[in-house]
């Protein structure tokens, strides 16, 4: 009789112990999950604050594949806006992307040759290219005097070669 009572008591105690252990484990897991969630929330809030700041800044580089594509016609239009005719824009040549060492960025260069233009037209063209949606800056500008500019009384004109550049972000899996 005594033995038959102690068996269920023992079983109940064992079950209660197991339940308590499971509950404890669950509690520990829940606490860890809550900690993770709180940390994630803090990180998201930090990212959100930085994203809001960054969104208000001008872009200084373009994402490769997402940059605005500029057709030859866009260059011709920019030149015309600077007072340079299509006949004076004698070469537009996109150079291969060149990786900037030890960075996740590349240079996207365009070589342009202008025939018999004034310095004012060149500067205006460079400014328009810098401010255009595809945003190229002059990295090299070389003026060579034309024969006409040497003659007295003539407006100074130059045969000009330009290398315009912009920076592309070319890393694919930056961490």
Partner 1 sequence: MNRVESEYRRLAATKDQSRIPKLGTTLPAMHAFWAAIPETGARYNVSVLHFTPDRIENLDGMCKGYADLETLRASMVSAGFAIPPLSASLTSSGATLRWKSVDWVPGIVAEEQP
User: Which residues lie near partner 1 (CB under 8 A)?
Assistant: 40, 43-44, 47-48, 50-51, 54-55, 57-63, 100, 103-105, 107, 119, 123, 126-127, 130, 137-145, 150, 158, 165, 167, 169, 171, 174
User: Which one, 87 or 102, has the nearer CB to partner 1?
Assistant: 102
Q: How far is the CB of 44 from partner 1 (least distance, A)?
A: 5
Minimum distance between the CB of residue 127 and partner 1, rounded to whole angstroms?
7
Residue 80 or 146 having the CB closest to partner 1: 146
Least distance from partner 1 to the Cβ atom of residue 90, Å: 18
Instruction: Of 149, 150, 158, 171, give the one whose Cα is nearest residue 64.
Output: 171
Q: Locate the DSSP E strands across the chain.
A: 62-63, 89-94, 98-99, 105-117, 137-145, 158-169
Q: How far is CA 31 from CA 25, 82, 110, in A?
A: 10, 66, 57
- CA 114, 118, 120, 124: dihedral to nearest 10 degrees? -20
Q: How far is the CB of 77 from partner 1 (least distance, A)?
A: 20
């Amino acid at each position: 009789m005594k033995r038959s009572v102690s068996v269920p008591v023992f079983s109940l105690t064992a079950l209660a112990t197991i339940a308590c252990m499971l509950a404890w484990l669950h509690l520990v897991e829940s606490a860890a999950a809550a900690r993770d969630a709180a940390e994630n929330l803090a990180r998201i809030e930090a990212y959100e604050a930085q994203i809001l700041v960054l969104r208000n800044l001008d872009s200084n580089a373009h994402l490769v594949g997402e940059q605005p594509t500029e057709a030859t016609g866009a260059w011709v239009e920019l030149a015309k806006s600077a007072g340079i005719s299509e006949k004076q824009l004698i070469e537009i040549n996109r150079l291969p992307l060149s990786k900037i060492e030890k960075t996740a960025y590349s240079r996207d260069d365009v070589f342009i040759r202008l025939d018999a233009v004034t310095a004012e037209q060149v500067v205006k063209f460079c400014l328009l290219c810098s401010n255009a949606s595809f945003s190229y800056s002059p990295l090299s500008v070389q003026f060579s005097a034309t024969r006409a500019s040497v003659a007295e009384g003539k407006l100074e004109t130059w045969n000009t070669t330009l290398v315009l550049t912009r920076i592309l972000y070319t890393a694919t899996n930056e961490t």
